Amino acid sequence: MKHKTFFWFVLPSSLAMLLFIFVPIVSVLVQSVYVDHEQVIKEVENCGPFGCTTTTAVDQEATQALQQASPLGRFAGLDTYLDRSHLAIDEVRAAWNSSNGMAEFYAKVVNLPFYKAMSFTLAYTFIVTPLVIIFGFIIAVAVNSATRKIRGPLIFFSLLPMMVTPLVGSLIIFWMVDARGVIGAALQYLAGDPDLSVKASTPLTWVMLMVYGVWHSAPFAFIVYYAGLQTVNSDTLESAMIDGASRWEQIRYVIIPHLLPLTTFIALMQLMDNFRVFEPIVSFSASAHATSLSWAIYNDLGGETRQLSSAAATSVLTILGIAILLTPVLVRTWRDFSRK
């Protein structure tokens, strides 16, 4: 295909991506090194019958003029990155100096907003991803062993947790886990503690969010593995059986190697998607116990004051995190490609 024809064909979609993905990324980078102008304060003298008093007030006009002159705000360099709600260098140093041991240091650091979000995001990503792969595989093997007739409905119900809007799916789970809901009541009965509330406890909230994550994503791994199981070479399997391989050995030496490339694909997609965990935290109203990087950005942007610089700095740090997660995969893809 000629360069020119190629250019016209990809123009609409590249333009969309350039304007609404690439430019915003640049704009986020720029915003993160600027902060809002300080308000100009002027002294006003109020003279009344009982003498004069001076008060300070915001000079609206001067502030406006400053805003007009440089709409981006004041250049702040890396200040936003280093402040208390992001990397919090000073606080981390203080915690390091005042702590006697790692446990205490860790406990202090995870109370800082950024590290709190980071610790949950990472824990969620690296606990949910392997669990999704394991459960997806088990479900795929089980469905594959069922008679053909009932596989259709089995797949239909399996798809539900994944296809349903994440915000809605997590709300459904949240209402059931509520102390007055059916799972909540069951947990209280099992624990023998009538006051048990998942919402009120940090570890239980974490567990709940991760259980939701596995519930939501396991169907994806299941579908991919199930499709992979349909293409297992039956000759290889039969010869393994003739050679006396037990059922477990067949899985271990024939099926798992066959599914390995699929596992890389699932892991890649899951790492990307789990790193952006966000909706369940909103649905579970879990922000007191668990926050994520995406939630931190959402929180900065919403509400009365839109803290754009703060949100931008968190966005940049999130993008860096994604980049670090993806580098191994990209390097491998590039190697494969250059080998061809």
Per CB under 8 A, 76 contacts another protein: no
Residue 279: which of 159, 128, 197, 169 has the closest Cα? Answer: 169
Per CB under 8 A, 251 contacts another protein: no
Alpha-carbon torsion, ordered 310, 312, 313, 319, to 10 deg: 150
Contact 309, 35 (CB under 8 A): yes
Report 260-279 residues binding another protein (CB under 8 A): 262, 265-266, 272, 275-276, 278-279
Per CB under 8 A, 331 contacts another protein: no
Report 154-173 residues binding another protein (CB under 8 A): 154-161, 163-168, 171-173
- Of 58-66, 85-93, 125-133, 303-311, the window that binds another protein (rule: CB under 8 A) is 303-311
One character per residue 5-34, x = contact with another protein (rule: CB under 8 A): xx--xx-xxx-xx-xxxxxxxxxx--x---
* DSSP characters over 252-283: IIIIHHHHHHHHHHHHHHHHHHHHT--HHHHH
> Measured from the CB of residue 248, what is the shortest distance to another protein in angstroms?
10
Report 218-237 residues binding another protein (CB under 8 A): 219-220, 223-224, 227-228, 231, 234, 237
Q: Which is nearer to another protein, 106 or 175 (CB)?
A: 175
Q: How many Cα atoms within 13 Å fall on the side-chain side of residue 289?
A: 17
> Measured from the CB of residue 295, what is the shortest distance to another protein in angstroms?
9
Amino acid at 95: A
Q: Which is nearer to another protein, 76 or 92 (CB)?
A: 76
> Measured from the CB of residue 287, what is the shortest distance to another protein in angstroms?
13
Q: H/E element holding 55?
A: strand 51-58
Q: Which is nearer to another protein, 50 or 248 (CB)?
A: 248
Q: Which is nearer to another protein, 13 or 54 (CB)?
A: 13
> Measured from the CB of residue 118, what is the shortest distance to another protein in angstroms?
14
Residue 320: which of 273, 275, 274 has the closest Cα? Answer: 275
Report helix angle 113-145 to 202-230, nearest 10: 40
CA distance 212 to 169: 9
Report 173-212 residues binding another protein (CB under 8 A): 173, 175-176, 178, 180-182, 185-186
CA distance 91 to 109: 8
Per CB under 8 A, 134 contacts another protein: no
